[in-house]
Amino acid sequence: MLASDDIDRIRHLVSIVADADGEQPLNEDATLALAGDDPAVSHHLLDEAGELIGYAQSNARHGTAQLLVHPLRRRRGHGGRLLLDVAGHGVWAFGDLPGARRFATTRGLAERRRLLVMERPLEPPSGAVFEGVRPFDPASEAEQLLAVNAAAFDWHPEQAHFSRADLDARMAEDWYDPAGLLVSADADGLTGFHWTKRHPDGRGEVYILATHPRAQGTGLGRRLLAAGLEHLAATGSATVHLYVEASNARAVELYERAGFAVVHRDVLYAPDPRSSDDR
Ligand SMILES: CC(C)(COP(=O)(O)OP(=O)(O)OC[C@H]1O[C@@H](n2cnc3c(N)ncnc32)[C@H](O)[C@@H]1OP(=O)(O)O)[C@@H](O)C(=O)NCCC(=O)NCCS
């Protein structure tokens, strides 16, 4: 577990890097993990003369890492040292900035995953009613929600592991709004959900959209998506964005048909499995 002054130093470095690059170097998961005690998470701090100049975080469960170096201390080998600390993990390059791409590819890493951010404007609410779609009941439906998530994302490296603790941590966040977590059900229980998120600046997000395989191909995803967008519009969001794997062609198509366009890309660089040189 990190000491609280180390958490503060890392957050400070993260904000300096974000200002310099125009890109957040740690994602939500890694930011939450700073104050957590997940045994799968390791922290690597790089100090020089008492100043924090670099930080890496690896997650053994996801097999991934995130690393950053102070903008004024770059191109002196610090990034390479942190990369050795997290060896064996893929490394996220948020925004796929040219320097990070060059850093990763010159060290024998290759693009393994591409995460897209898609966005669209929101029109004022239409007043449409979505039959069979209603708010989630956390008292009785948490396990069902996790079961739908696990079945829908059984192929997904991170979302497949979304646990009760992950759910509880998000429901304890300031942004959590029970009315923005919409579900659908049949006689056997929940068939799908659309968890929307309203950011402090008012932007809306399709946070998680999942339908159980038994209900897929019936138009349920489209209906849950539309119901969540109506909710976000009704609460005042002018835009909505989402994260989706570029390889998830069905989801990308669903979002394109709903008017979303790609505005941003994150790339995971990892050792090339075809190469015997597994640095
Ligand atoms: C990517 C990052 C970690 C590199 O840290 P670093 O301390 O500069 O890394 P090193 O000194 O070990 O390696 C530098 C090498 O990376 C490449 N590189 C890094 N920045 C570059 C840039 N702006 N333009 C071109 N190449 C660059 C070059 O190959 C460089 O070697 P060179 O200086 O001999 O030409 C740092 O720029 C950073 O914190 N970026 C923001 C967070 C991020 O993108 N992390 C994901 C990394 S995949």
Q: Which CATH number fits the domain that encloses residue 215?
A: 3.40.630.30
C-beta 67 within 6 A of ligand 1:
yes
C-beta 95 within 6 A of ligand 1:
no
Residues 60 and 140 placed together within one structural domain of the fold: no
Domain that holds residue 260: 119-264
C-beta 204 within 6 A of ligand 1:
no
C-beta 137 within 6 A of ligand 1:
no
Task: Provide φ and ψ at 32, rounded to 5°.
Answer: -65, -35
Residues 30 and 64 placed together within one structural domain of the fold: yes
Domain count, the chain: 2
Residues 36 and 134 placed together within one structural domain of the fold: no
**pLDDT of 275 above 70:** no
Residues 162 and 234 placed together within one structural domain of the fold: yes
- Ligand 1, atom 1, lies closest to the CA of 100
Kindly state the DSSP code that residue 176 receives in the 8-state scheme.
-
Residue finishing a domain among 80, 107, 134: 107
Please state, in angstroms and rounded to a whole number, the distance separating the CA atoms of residues 62 and 159: 10
Residues 59 and 138 placed together within one structural domain of the fold: no
C-beta 99 within 6 A of ligand 1:
yes
pLDDT one-digit tens code per residue, 119-170:
999 999 999 999 999 999 999 999 999 999 999 999 988 899 999 999 999 9
Please state, in angstroms and rounded to a whole number, the distance separating the CA atoms of residues 14 and 43: 14
Residues 51 and 159 placed together within one structural domain of the fold: no
C-beta 104 within 6 A of ligand 1:
yes
Q: Is 151 contained in some domain?
A: yes
Residues 78 and 155 placed together within one structural domain of the fold: no
Q: Is 159 contained in some domain?
A: yes
pLDDT band, residue 278 (cuts 50/70/90):
very low
- Ligand 1, atom 27, lies closest to the CA of 99
Measured in angstroms, how far is the CA atom of residue 258 from the centroid of ligand 1? 37
Residues 61 and 141 placed together within one structural domain of the fold: no
**pLDDT of 45 above 60:** yes
Residues 102 and 132 placed together within one structural domain of the fold: no
The share of the chain scoring above pLDDT 90, in percent, equals: 94
Contact between 119 and 261 (Cβ < 8 Å): yes
Residues 170 and 83 placed together within one structural domain of the fold: no
Give the per-residue pLDDT at 272. 76
- Ligand 1, atom 29, lies closest to the CA of 103
Tell me the mean pLDDT in the region 79-88: 97
**pLDDT of 199 above 50:** yes
Please, which residues have CB within 8 angstroms of residue 150's CB and are 6 or more apart in sequence?
A: 160, 162
C-beta 209 within 6 A of ligand 1:
no
Residues 103 and 123 placed together within one structural domain of the fold: no
Residue 86, phi-psi category: left (phi > 0), alpha (psi -120 to 50), beta (remainder): alpha
Q: Is 278 contained in some domain?
A: no
Measured in angstroms, how far is the CA atom of residue 102 from the centroid of ligand 1? 7
Helix locations, 44-184, DSSP H: 78-85, 98-105, 138-152, 164-171
